[in-house]
Amino acid sequence: MHVTLESRWSCGQCHFAGGKSDHLRATLDRVAAAHPRTSSEGQVPVVRDLLVHLDRSAGRLGTQVRTGLRDAVRSGRLPAGFRMPSTRALAQSLGVSRGMVVDAYEQLVAEGYLTSRHGSGTQVTSACAAPQPADSPATSPVVPITHDLKPGVPDLSTFPRGPWLAATRHVLSTAPHTAFGYPGPSGAPELRSALTDYLGRVRAAQVRPEHIVVVNGVAQGLSLVSQALRRMGRGVLAVEDPSSNRQRGIFDTHGLELAYAPTDSEGIDVAALARTGARAVLVTPAHQYPTGVVLSPSRRAELIAWARASDALIVEDDYDAEFRYDRDPVGCLQGLAPDRVVHLGSTSKALAPGMRLGWAALPAAMIERIHDLKTHADLGSPVLAQLTLVRMLETGGYDRHLRAMRAHYRARRDAVVEAIAEHLPAARVRGIAAGLHLCVELPPGTDESATVIRARALGLRIEPLTPMRVLTPGPPSVIIGYATLSPDRLRAAVRLLARSVLP
Ligand SMILES: Cc1ncc(COP(=O)(O)O)c(C=O)c1O
């Protein structure tokens, strides 16, 4: 059935009217992009009209209304959060009875496509925003994610807005005009100097300001290092198995070939790494991603010995090292071999990933190359955020925030560990000493992917470990990011996980 939608949106400043379906799709896209659902000025797009074109000669008008609206939501033409017109207004504009529209709304609420709340009308459910697989039955319910344990995100509600605002205000009122020129591709000298102190103090790094390049997160650091490795004739990068599958796209983009070295309870297997023949390796020594293992002292020594013996480079992804709970702090690898290690870190876990602010501490031999690549990438990272971070570091605001966050996340981690012991006693929890995620080894014989699918059907999102493995099989496991939910909600999430685990 061909359905045409027509809509008019108003934000008080302008007005759009749509016609036939293709045009409408473009119009809705344009309007959605131009008008966020709720802006800081409190503007909310107001739906004045929404037309479902009906074929009156075909009969079954009620079904046509229901199907037309459902298709519009499923295809994404009505975006998540879209405020549906009142049943009276829609019935009037479609020329059908109000009861027909009420029935359609009720059916779509029951199916999970719409949400109806007293006082705020009917809206498209946020979980419906993603397009559905073409073959899923038209009536399959879309279960919203109620417990999201996807790793990688800190608790965004704890961003230190007050201290950051005070630091920004200080920078804006004291920095000379010249500070707002191009920052230089390596970053603001003040930040490189402050990071030298910070990384030496907190991570036992051995750096000088001229060895630091400020980057837009570890991701950009990896991108620049990948390009540099290719140009240095090191086209094969060894990575840990398992490791972050999201990062593999970066290496692929820059034409690096990957080799895989297995990890065990002490971290990367250095003998297996040596057998790959690679002359560069990416490791996560402070908290292996995803298993959470801390690289043991003997493996650290072996890894550095391997790098020296084979003229190799170690890329150290220090992505969540600020958070440690039950163990003494472990210094970074870079501090043991500054000539062999590229150290990458960022504020993504300590503050928020949206900052896109990080650093690379480089061996002397790579500085010029990375400096050039950063110049060609973007002429340097935004300067205001850099100077604000300097102020946070100098006033102790950054350290105070981290101290508070360690206690905050520790309580969350404890809640997960205790709940797993209670509700899933046959599971083994790994990697709990540091970071913002842990690894749950499911009871032997558990079907990992079926568990993840069942969990999703209950509104729980967890990450399976198997897609992060390449060559080395391992026990069925899932990764739990515990940073974003309160201890109570984490306990509820673990109960859902326990319900999802079937042998
Ligand atoms: C293994 C790993 N490294 C690094 C990062 C952080 O990347 P960025 O600093 O670009 O935000 C993440 C984020 O989740 C990660 O999982």
Alpha carbon distance 327, 173 (integer Å):
42
Residue 327 binned pLDDT confidence (cut-offs 50, 70, 90): confident
Domains of the chain (ranges, CATH numbers): 2-128 (1.10.10.10), 147-156+401-500 (3.90.1150.10), 159-395 (3.40.640.10)
Contact 150, 493 (CB under 8 A): no
Given a cut of 90, whether residue 346 has pLDDT beyond it is yes
**Given CA atoms 219, 221, 224, 229 in this order, what sign does their dihedral have?**
negative
Strands 280-283 and 437-441 turn out to be unpaired
Given a cut of 50, whether residue 24 has pLDDT beyond it is no
In angstroms, what is the span from residue 208 Cα to ligand 1's centroid?
A: 24
What is the average pLDDT across 84-110? 87
Atom of ligand 1 nearest to the CA of 290: 1
Choose one of 289, 342, 479 to mutate for the ligand 1 pocket test, by most ligand atoms within 8 angstroms of C-beta.
Answer: 289
Q: What is the pTM of this model?
A: 0.75
As a whole number, the mean pLDDT across the chain is 87
Atom of ligand 1 nearest to the CA of 346: 9
Query: Helix (H, G, I), strand (E, B), or coil: what is residue 108?
Result: helix
In angstroms, what is the span from residue 461 Cα to ligand 1's centroid?
A: 19
Atom of ligand 1 nearest to the CA of 347: 9
> Which tens digits make up the pLDDT trace of 180-211?
999 899 999 999 999 999 999 999 999 999 99
Give residue 475's pLDDT.
96
What single string gives the DSSP state of each residue in 172-187?
Answer: HHHS-GGGGS---TT-
Angle at 41 between CA 37 and CA 46, to 5 degrees: 40
Choose one of 348, 349, 484 to mutate for the ligand 1 pocket test, by most ligand atoms within 8 angstroms of C-beta.
Answer: 348
Strands 236-241 and 477-481 turn out to be unpaired
Given a cut of 90, whether residue 112 has pLDDT beyond it is no
Residues present in the chain in total: 503
What is the average pLDDT across 412-433? 97
Q: Specify the residue with its C-alpha closest to ligand 1, atom 16.
A: 152
In angstroms, what is the span from residue 435 Cα to ligand 1's centroid?
A: 12
For the chain, report the end-to-end CA distance as a whole number of angstroms: 44
> Which tens digits make up the pLDDT trace of 26-49?
433 443 444 334 333 344 445 456
Q: Residues with beta carbon inside 6 Å of ligand 1?
A: 152, 217-219, 244, 284, 289, 317, 319, 346, 348, 353, 358
Q: Specify the residue with its C-alpha closest to ligand 1, atom 3.
A: 319
Give residue 49's pLDDT.
61
Query: Helix (H, G, I), strand (E, B), or coil: what is residue 343?
Result: strand
Atom of ligand 1 nearest to the CA of 220: 10
In angstroms, what is the span from residue 496 Cα to ligand 1's centroid?
A: 27
What single string gives the DSSP state of each residue in 241-302?
Answer: ES--TTTHHHHHHTTPEEEEEEEETTEE-HHHHHHH--SEEEE-TTS-TTT-PPPPHHHHHH
Residue 141 binned pLDDT confidence (cut-offs 50, 70, 90): low
Give residue 57's pLDDT.
84
In angstroms, what is the span from residue 73 Cα to ligand 1's centroid?
A: 33
Residue 439 binned pLDDT confidence (cut-offs 50, 70, 90): very high
